[in-house]
Amino acid sequence: MRGTEGCITVAGIVNLHVTPFDLIALLVTLAALFSYVNHRFIGLPTAIGVMLVALLTSLGIIVVGQFAPGIERSAEAIVNSIHFDETLMQGLLSYLLFAGALHVDINRLQRQGNVILGCATFGVILSTFIVGTLTYVLLMALGIRFDYTVCLLFGALISPTDPIAVMALLKSANVPASLQTKIEGESLFNDGVGVVVFVSLLKFLGEDDPTAIEVSVLFLKEAVGGAVFGLLIGWIAYRLLKSINQYQVEILLSLALVTGGYALAHRLHLSGPIAIVVAGLMIGNRGRRLAMSEATREHLDQFWELIDEILNAILFVAIGLELLVVALDLKPIIAGLVAIPIVLVSRFISVGIPISLLRAVRVFTPHVVKILTWAGLRGGISIALALSLPADTAFRPVFLTMTYCVVLFSIVVQGLTVKGFVKRTLESSARQDPG
């Protein structure tokens, strides 16, 4: 959230002075209340449950707003003041990525490295072009004319799977270890790659008019530079952790690694998400084995698991509330509904090609492409990128509505069915090949 304060008109009558702390208090309170309602009465996975309650709240405000427009306008103003794109991309994301990377086994990750690298780089770039091309055709058919390069922006922001949504739901999906590593590893890295592709395309559309070579250099600098920077700050943190044995200080060091490391990566124009994932893998593996006592490991795990649960709840509440600022116009909604199968097909192709090429040298879990396609959830990162599009452009409201449609389908429909889908797919494969 931006560090500015402002006055928001409530119900068209009262000027409410809203501070950043007020917004934090609002989100935390709503996350707690919605989590309680979900746990007490609904019983869905926390991420999906709190988002659905938030969506229903937003819809309720929209309905009431038909009779009392001031209430809806006030709610929209409050939601806009949260600045979801900055809150996630320059705040929550770093902690959630670190918490996720902290518990990924790097040895298993290395064994799946070629698959993860192929899907997180080639796959994201290929998906960006497939989605962008089909979106260009779709919008032309609806009478909405944007440049092809502009449509690639939508491909870039919707192509990366969201590690936050994916890892929150994988915990209860009973996925085989090798397949879980592929899904987790790809989701951790491809969001960083997706953000870099998105930023590169935005720069390409900007006033500087860079060449394709300059954009490629920018991509390499952000992605590779982010990984090297993450390795460096992770190693420094590891050496500091190894030199002491007091869990309070060690937890504080991990917090400083995430907060300071992400902020510095951003200042250096490197990929903060990739840097934090690499640093988290180092601390969660080498640091956990060689630099921590049993007491430190236990307290560190409890601390970051709690951070993960709290921030996940806040994030999905914010996603639900963002409905208030989405333009509910007919053509963008139709485009968003059609974009759902487009994104799924592009996901199937973009993970299917690298896996098909690798089948010559390794064995994969049966139906791995289908499972990776359905388990590739989109979430808050896509919405944040859509909200970060220039406010004075004609394509921003269209892409925001389309993104929201895809994300809602992904989290609710795919999220609620991924466990059963994986189970049925693997059982079907076992029956066909009992040996």
Q: Which phi and psi (to 5°) does residue 25 adopt?
A: -60, -40
Quote the tokens at residue 59.
């819809």
> What does the buried/exposed string (b/e) look like for 67-76 if buried means 16 or more CB atoms within 10 Å of the residue's CB?
eeeebbbbbb
pLDDT tens digits along 226-268: 999 999 999 999 999 999 999 999 999 999 999 999 999 999 9
Amino acid 435: pLDDT: 43
User: What's the chain look like in SS3?
Assistant: CCCCCEEEEECCCEEEEECHHHHHHHHHHHHHHHHHHHHHHHCCCHHHHHHHHHHHHHHHHHHHHCCCHHHHHHHHHHHHHHCHHHHHHHHHHHHHHHHHHCCCCHHHHHHCHHHHHHHHHHHHHHHHHHHHHHHHHHHHHCCCCCCHHHHHHHHHHHCCCCHHHHHHHHCCCCCCHHHHHHHHHHHHHHHHHHHHHHHHHHHHHCCCCCCHHHHHHHHHHHHHHHHHHHHHHHHHHHHHHHCCCCHHHHHHHHHHHHHHHHHHHHHCCCCHHHHHHHHHHHHHHHHHHHCCCHHHHHHHHHHHHHHHHHHHHHHHHHHHHHHHHCCCCHHHHHHHHHHHHHHHHHHHHHHHHHHHHHCCCCCCCCCHHHHHHHCCCCCHHHHHHHHCCCCCCCHHHHHHHHHHHHHHHHHHHHHHHHHHHHHHHHHHHHHHCCC
Please give the Cα distance from 72 to 271 (Å, whole number): 37
Give the domains, in start order, of the chain with CATH numbers: 6-82 (no CATH), 84-432 (1.20.1530.20)
Other residues' Cβ atoms within 10 Å of the Cβ of residue 397: 17
Strands 6-10 and 14-18: antiparallel
Q: Which residues contact 280 (CB under 8 A, 6 or more apart)?
A: 97, 98, 99, 100, 101, 102, 104, 234, 258
pLDDT tens, position by position, 410-433: 999 998 898 888 888 877 766 665
Mean pLDDT by groups of 10 residues along the chain of 435 residues: 50 60 92 96 90 95 90 89 86 89 86 84 92 97 93 94 75 70 84 84 70 74 91 97 95 97 93 93 93 94 93 92 90 96 96 89 84 90 91 92 95 89 78 54
Check residue 216 and give its pLDDT.
74
Nearest to 231 by CA among 271, 170, 169, 281: 281
Greatest Cα pair distance in the chain: 72
Instruction: Tell me whether residue 206 is exposed, middle or buried, using C-beta atoms within 10 angstroms of its C-beta: 0 to 12, 13 to 18, 19 or more.
Output: exposed
- pLDDT of amino acid 173: 63
